[in-house]
């Protein structure tokens, strides 16, 4: 074969590969994708979506349940690759040291329009308790308790700081640390009996979305209020594993989407990953923008691989 024919053939093969979107496989070190899950239902289901997609693409995702401080320390130490639950601005203090030393990177906002803060039942707000500064005068009616979730959570930290600040007039209040499920049980019991309660609320959340609650005003610069959720990775990860990085950058959710996936987990105790798979099977069109510019682990067609997995 002549040199010119060889060159022409090589160009033809390169063009064919480009046309089909095929790319070189990622390094073997990228096959295992390690996620931190802090046990919140919204992050459990979004992480479940990522697991389903990555498995369909030929990767081996691994999920470890960690507290927020340990999740960030693990990203810095390169024991974890990805965290989908960076709620901002409430987690500003938690992430600040890691962005300062550049050991953790933020690659995209995966949810916008969220909310986070202290809530009371609507009947309590109707009685005049509508702001943080209204709480102190009603300490006995609230039993001197503010209900949060698991220890190490950013919301609990903010509540603790609020109680400690004399300007908020919350002397004598205590933070009750529990779990998302435990806190909701207390809230539902109190509201059923028309009792007064203060607890940590957020949107999206299917159960809280059905509750008649009021988000307290007067949060100032605490971090409570309107929120955006971001995707964090350990430093350099998207450069090492650009195909996974592209998928993670594309992976964006809506309040409606997350609420639909959270509901069976919260109400029926369904497995988050199985719930994510069921939602994806019922809404296959949602996958299309997530797979733009993405291939399988070995460089194959991502859309075909995911379609096959969802049909199985």
Q: Which two tokens stand for residue 165?
A: 């600040």
Domains of the chain, first to last: 27-114+227-311 (3.40.190.10), 116-225 (3.40.190.100)
Give the model confidence (pLDDT) of 234-261 as tens digits: 999 999 999 999 999 999 999 999 999 9
Over residues 92-117, mean pLDDT: 96
Per-residue confidence band for 226, with pLDDT thresholds at 50, 70 and 90: confident
How far apart, in whole angstroms, are the C-alpha atoms of residue 140 and residue 98?
A: 41
Q: Are 204 and 262 in contact (CB under 8 A)?
A: yes
The reported pTM is 0.84
Q: Which two tokens stand for residue 126?
A: 């109707």
Q: State what percent of residues in the chain have pLDDT above 70.
A: 92
Contacts of residue 223, defined as CB under 8 A and 6 or more positions apart, other chains included, come to 88, 89, 90, 91, 92, 93, 116, 154, 158
Q: What tokens were used for 149?
A: 């979730």
Q: In which element (H, E) is residue 118 found?
A: strand 104-121
- Residue 84 is predicted with a pLDDT of 98
- The vertex-311 CA angle with 309 and 312, nearest 5°, equals 65
Provide mean pLDDT across the span 274-289: 96
DSSP 83-103: EEEEEETTTHHHHHHHHHTTS
Q: How far is CA 133 from CA 49, 95, 139, in A?
A: 40, 28, 11
φ/ψ bin of 35: left (φ > 0), alpha (ψ from -120 to 50), beta (otherwise): beta
Backbone torsions φ then ψ of 160, nearest 5 degrees? -60, -40
Residues in the chain: 312
Return the bridge partners of 36, or none.
Answer: 64, 83
Q: How far apart are CA 12 and CA 15, in angstroms?
A: 5
Contact 237, 245 (CB under 8 A): yes
Q: How confident is the model at residue 50 (pLDDT cuts 50, 70, 90)?
A: very high
């Amino acid at each position: 074969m002549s040199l010119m024919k060889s060159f022409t053939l090589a160009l033809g093969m390169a063009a064919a590969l480009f046309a089909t979107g095929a790319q070189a496989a990622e390094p073997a070190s990228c096959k295992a994708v390690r996620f931190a899950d802090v046990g919140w239902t919204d992050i459990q289901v979004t992480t479940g979506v990522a697991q389903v997609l990555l498995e369909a693409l030929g990767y081996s995702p691994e999920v470890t349940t960690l507290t927020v401080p340990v999740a960030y320390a693990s990203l810095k130490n390169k024991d974890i690759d990805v965290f989908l639950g960076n709620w901002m601005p409430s987690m500003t203090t938690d992430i600040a040291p890691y962005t300062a030393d550049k050991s953790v990177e933020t690659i995209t906002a995966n949810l916008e329009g969220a909310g986070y803060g202290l809530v009371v039942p609507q009947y309590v707000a109707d009685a005049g308790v509508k702001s943080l500064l209204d709480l102190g005068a009603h300490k006995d009616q609230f039993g001197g308790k503010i209900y949060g979730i698991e220890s190490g959570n950013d919301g609990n930290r903010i509540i603790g700081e609020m109680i400690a600040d004399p300007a908020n007039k919350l002397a004598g209040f205590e933070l009750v640390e529990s779990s998302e499920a435990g806190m909701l049980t207390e809230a539902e019991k109190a509201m059923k009996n028309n009792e007064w309660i203060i607890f940590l609320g957020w949107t999206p959340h299917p159960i809280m979305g059905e509750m008649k609650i009021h988000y307290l005003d007067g949060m100032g610069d605490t971090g409570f209020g309107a929120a955006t959720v971001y995707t964090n990775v350990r430093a350099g990860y998207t450069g090492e594993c650009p195909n996974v990085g592209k998928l993670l950058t594309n992976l964006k959710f809506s309040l409606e989407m997350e609420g639909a996936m959270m509901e069976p987990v919260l109400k029926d105790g369904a497995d988050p990953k199985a719930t994510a798979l069921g939602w994806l099977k019922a809404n296959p069109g949602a996958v299309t923008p997530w797979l733009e510019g993405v291939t399988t682990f070995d460089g194959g067609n991502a859309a075909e691989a995911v379609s096959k997995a969802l049909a199985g």
